[in-house]
């Protein structure tokens, strides 16, 4: 897993790394799903959406916020996440299966995606960031 | 203690201007000797960050339950001049009007012989945890009414009594709510979650009033020693979370427009009088009203269960009060000797208005506003009263809870939920939760001592102890 939880007193701080920006965003999406749900999900149903922003941090926050809204309103746990960046935004394609408490229950409810401390940087050959989920 | 801080009193510390670049006012926080070891540098930096925001008055404040959050620290309080100041979702949080209410019953501990049955029925009646859905089917018009009228809407729909409304902060219905600033996404999240408890640190607790510290105030608030009470902690659910998200994104883009320089993007803000600032206020107030209605619906579910299980009347269960922990309010406070219109942000802090303040319910006017401070699972909770001292020193504010000291991951690594359940069981405290991880995260050892935190605000005089409660049964979200 190219992400790990770091210490934060009130909320969940995730450290995420990847070779390129689209993969970094996809891993952030997987990290969000891992906080919220347990177990695995079949890629039975598919969704897509686009978001915009003025920089990578704003686009990422918008992407994860949209993913959070979608998982909650559609009641779907996403297991496959593909991101393609374009001018001023991204398109995300996601697959998953409906939430089943017996399979996916036991995670934490995420309230929102914070900008606090969010900064994408390049370290050696990787892109890295810390992102805070309010729980 | 962290370098650069200045002690200014027995329980009071200052973060001087210059601690970080751009501070307009000093920071001030309140801690006892016993709590100083719990202070995190991240929380102090966040307190200093708030002090850089335009229009901030007097101090960036933090209560003794201060801890590291996002944007404002948790326990943070800041007042901004209405004409020159700003409003920020980072000073309220994603869970708008996360708050707590206290109910009394005519029962004593001897009447609670079927505690497991009561907890089981409460657990079935109140949807809890991730993915829980409401049995309510709100139409778009009903949701609008709920967001405009809050508790009043809920009571008119049959979820309570008229007396409940008077015993809520803001009468359970904040003025200025504007559902046109609540997006379709927020509505889609809010409809299936109305009347649900949520997860994380949200809870429903059966308690017993174990110590009366101020008999006169306790009598006025309707609490007696040995009485069974219920405490409920939850907020505006996905609706409020989405309102924060939507307006955070709008304000993030507005920061440049208003030439505001900020040390943390989560503090994105706009002038209170700007279109963006007004839009956030309207959406936030609508979410706050949703939260009051939400707690009212849960109260209705609790009353039905207790009436059925304990043979008491629905109306025998009284609402002592309901307070908001995460909100920004337009209030008048004395600043430099003049009554001044300000916007007070309380993020993980409780309003604590003193005797005679116009917003204190008529029947509590001589005592002051009830202040409800939940402890962590398995520890004491408290009822306090607001004071004149709070009006003078903290813009009528006090602490909101115990305050975390262990991260959730540390708590889960070092504490086993099943052991906490067993250990509390041996103390006579029954716990129900969707999974053991939720118990470990919220274990008593993950929090500061609630008794120490309330003793600080009592000693400072920014609120005064009235009643101590001990838990008997807990439902965790």
Which has the closest alpha carbon to B12: B350, B20, B45, B26?
B26
Partnered with residue A93 across adjacent β-strands are: A48, A82
Torsion sign across C-alpha atoms B138, B143, B145, B150: positive
pLDDT grade for A130, boundaries at 50, 70 and 90: very high
Strands (E) in B124-267, as ranges, are 203-212, 227-234
In tens, the pLDDT along B457-476 reads 999 999 999 999 999 999 98
CA distance B30 to B368: 22
CA distance B356 to B353: 9
Q: How far is CA B179 from CA A51, A69, B25, B86, B150, in A?
A: 24, 19, 35, 21, 12
Rg of chain B taking only CA atoms, in angstroms: 21
Is the pLDDT at A89 greater than 90? The verdict is: yes
Task: Tell me which chain A residue has its CA closest to the CA of residue B39.
Answer: A9
In tens, the pLDDT along B310-369 reads 999 999 999 999 999 999 999 999 999 999 999 999 999 999 999 999 999 999 999 999
Residues 6+ apart with CB under 8 A from A74: A47
B121-133 per-residue burial string, b: 16 or more CB within 10 A, e: under 16: bbbebbbbbbbbe
pLDDT > 90: percent of chain B: 85
Identify whether B290 is part of a domain: yes
Quick one: tokens of B25? Answer: 């006012």
The domain limits of chain A are: 12-134
Q: Are B464 and B371 in contact (CB under 8 A)?
A: no
Identify whether B69 is part of a domain: no
Task: Look up the ipTM and state it.
Answer: 0.93
Residue from A3, A5, A9, A100 to probe the interface with B (highest B Cβ count within 10 Å): A9
Identify whether B38 is part of a domain: no
pLDDT > 70: percent of chain B: 100
Domain with residue B251: its CATH number is: 3.90.1860.10
Least confident of A41-55, A115-129, B339-353, B413-427: B413-427
How many domains is chain B partitioned into structurally? 1
User: Strands A112-114 and B350-351: what pairing?
Assistant: unpaired
Question: What pLDDT shows up at residue B137?
Answer: 87
Burial (Cβ within 10 Å: 0-12, 13-18, ≥19) of residue B202: buried
Is the pLDDT at B390 greater than 90? The verdict is: yes
Residues annotated within the binding site of B are: 95, 201-205, 233, 325-326, 374-377, 381, 400-403, 476
Which chain B residues are within 8 Å of A31, Cβ to Cβ?
Answer: none
Which chain B residues are within 8 Å of A7, Cβ to Cβ?
Answer: 407, 409-410
Identify whether B348 is part of a domain: no
pLDDT grade for B442, boundaries at 50, 70 and 90: confident
Question: What pLDDT shows up at residue B6?
Answer: 96
Contact call for A105 and B244, based on CB within 8 A:
no
- Looking at the partner chain, which of A72, A105, A117 has a beta carbon nearest the beta carbon of B189? A72
Q: CA of A126 to nearest chain B CA: how many angstroms apart?
A: 24
In tens, the pLDDT along B172-207 reads 999 999 999 999 999 999 999 999 999 888 999 999
User: Residues A5-14: what's their mean pLDDT?
Assistant: 90
Task: Tell me which chain A residue has its CA closest to the CA of residue B256.
Answer: A54
CA distance B449 to B401: 9
Identify whether B331 is part of a domain: no
Question: What pLDDT shows up at residue B345?
Answer: 98
The CA-based dihedral angle spanning residues B119, B125, B129, B132, taken in that order and rounded to the nearest 10 degrees:
160
Quick one: tokens of B260? Answer: 């505001």
DSSP B113: S
Task: Tell me the longest C-alpha to C-alpha distance in chain B.
Answer: 63
In tens, the pLDDT along B92-107 reads 999 999 999 999 999 9
Q: How far apart are the first and last CA of chain B?
A: 35
Q: How far is CA A101 from CA A98, B129, B271, in A?
A: 10, 10, 44
Contact call for A58 and B252, based on CB within 8 A:
yes
B407 shares contact with chain A (CB less than 8 Å): yes
Is the pLDDT at A46 greater than 90? The verdict is: yes
A110-135 per-residue burial string, b: 16 or more CB within 10 A, e: under 16: bbbbbbbbbebeeeeeebbbbbbbbb
Which has the closest alpha carbon to B94: A10, A74, A36?
A10
DSSP B363: G
In tens, the pLDDT along B108-141 reads 998 988 899 999 999 999 998 877 788 888 999 9
User: Residues B205-217: what's their mean pLDDT?
Assistant: 98
A44 versus B445: which is more confidently predicted? A44
Is the pLDDT at B403 greater than 90? The verdict is: no
In tens, the pLDDT along B44-73 reads 999 999 999 999 999 999 999 999 999 999
CA distance B160 to B7: 48
Q: Which domain holds residue B157?
A: 96-322+353-384+447-476
Question: What pLDDT shows up at residue B89?
Answer: 97
Contact call for A58 and B93, based on CB within 8 A:
no
The CATH number of domain A12-134 is 3.40.50.720: no
Question: What pLDDT shows up at residue B407?
Answer: 82
Question: What pLDDT shows up at residue A112?
Answer: 96
pLDDT grade for B406, boundaries at 50, 70 and 90: confident
Task: Tell me which chain B residue has its CA closest to the CA of residue A52.
Answer: B249
pLDDT grade for A49, boundaries at 50, 70 and 90: very high
Strands (E) in B55-132, as ranges, are 60-70, 72-81, 86-87, 99-108
- Looking at the partner chain, which of A11, A65, A105 has a beta carbon nearest the beta carbon of B130? A105
In tens, the pLDDT along B275-322 reads 999 999 999 999 999 999 999 999 999 999 999 999 999 999 999 999
Identify whether B188 is part of a domain: yes
CA distance A120 to A16: 10
Partnered with residue B145 across adjacent β-strands are: none
Is the pLDDT at B43 greater than 90? The verdict is: yes
What predicted TM-score, i.e. pTM, was given to this entire model?
Answer: 0.96
Q: How far apart are the first and last CA of chain A?
A: 21
CA distance B477 to B406: 19
Just list the catalytic residues of B.
Answer: 400
């Amino acid at each position: 897993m190219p992400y790990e939880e770091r210490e934060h007193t009130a909320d969940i701080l995730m450290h995420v790394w990847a070779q390129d920006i689209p993969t970094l965003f996809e891993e952030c999406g997987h990290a969000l799903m891992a906080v919220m749900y347990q177990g695995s999900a079949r890629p039975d149903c598919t969704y897509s959406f686009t978001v915009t922003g003025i920089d990578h941090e704003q686009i990422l926050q918008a992407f994860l916020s949209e993913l959070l809204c979608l998982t909650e309103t559609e009641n779907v746990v996403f297991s496959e996440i593909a991101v393609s960046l374009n001018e001023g935004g991204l398109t995300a394609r996601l697959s998953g299966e409906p939430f089943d408490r017996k399979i996916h229950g036991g995670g934490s409810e995420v309230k929102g995606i914070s900008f606090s401390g969010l900064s994408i940087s390049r370290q050696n050959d990787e892109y890295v960031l810390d992102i805070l989920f309010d729980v | 203690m962290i370098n650069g801080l200045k002690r200014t009193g027995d329980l009071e510390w200052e973060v001087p201007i210059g601690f970080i670049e751009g501070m307009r006012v000093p920071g001030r926080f309140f801690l006892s000797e016993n709590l100083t070891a719990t202070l995190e540098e991240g929380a102090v930096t966040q307190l200093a960050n708030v002090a850089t925001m335009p229009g901030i008055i007097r101090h960036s404040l933090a209560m003794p339950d201060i801890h590291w959050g996002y944007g404002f620290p948790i326990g943070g309080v800041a007042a901004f001049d209405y004409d020159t100041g700003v409003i920020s979702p980072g000073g309220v949080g994603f869970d708008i009007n996360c708050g707590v209410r206290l109910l009394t019953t005519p029962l004593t501990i001897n009447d609670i012989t079927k505690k497991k049955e009561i907890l089981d029925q409460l657990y079935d009646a109140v949807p809890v945890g991730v993915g829980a859905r409401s049995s309510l089917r709100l139409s778009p018009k009903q949701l609008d009414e709920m967001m405009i009228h809050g508790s009043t809407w809920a009571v008119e729909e049959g979820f309570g009594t008229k007396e409940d409304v008077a015993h809520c902060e803001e009468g359970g219905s904040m003025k200025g709510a504007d559902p046109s600033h609540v997006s379709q996404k927020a509505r889609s999240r809010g409809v299936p979650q109305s009347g649900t408890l949520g997860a994380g640190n949200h809870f429903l607790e059966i308690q017993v009033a174990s110590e009366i510290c101020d008999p006169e105030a306790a009598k006025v608030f309707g609490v007696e020693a040995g009485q069974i009470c219920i405490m409920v902690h939850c907020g505006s659910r996905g609706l409020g979370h989405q309102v924060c998200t939507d307006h955070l994104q709008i304000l993030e883009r507005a920061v440049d427009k208003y030439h505001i320089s900020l040390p943390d993007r989560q503090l994105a803000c706009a002038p209170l009088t700007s279109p963006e600032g007004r839009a956030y206020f309207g959406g936030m107030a609508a979410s706050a009203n949703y939260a009051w209605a939400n707690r009212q619906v849960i109260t209705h579910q609790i009353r039905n269960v207790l009436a059925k299980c304990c043979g008491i009347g629905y109306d025998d269960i009284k609402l002592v009060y309901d307070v908001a922990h995460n909100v920004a309010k337009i209030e008048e406070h004395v600043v430099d000797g003049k009554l001044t219109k300000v916007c007070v942000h309380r993020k993980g802090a409780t309003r604590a208005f003193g005797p005679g303040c116009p917003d204190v319910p008529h029947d509590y006017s001589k005592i002051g506003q009830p202040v409800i401070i939940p402890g962590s699972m398995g520890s004491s909770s408290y009822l306090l009263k607001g004071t004149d001292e709070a009006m003078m020193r903290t813009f009528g504010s006090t602490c909101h809870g115990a305050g975390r000291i262990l991260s959730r991951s540390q708590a889960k690594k070092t504490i086993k939920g099943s052991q906490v359940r067993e250990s509390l069981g041996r103390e006579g405290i029954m716990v129900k939760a969707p999974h053991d991880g939720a118990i470990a995260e919220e274990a008593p050892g993950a929090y500061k001592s609630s008794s120490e935190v309330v003793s600080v605000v009592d000693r400072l005089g920014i609120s005064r102890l009235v009643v101590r409660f001990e838990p008997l049964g807990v439902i965790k979200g």
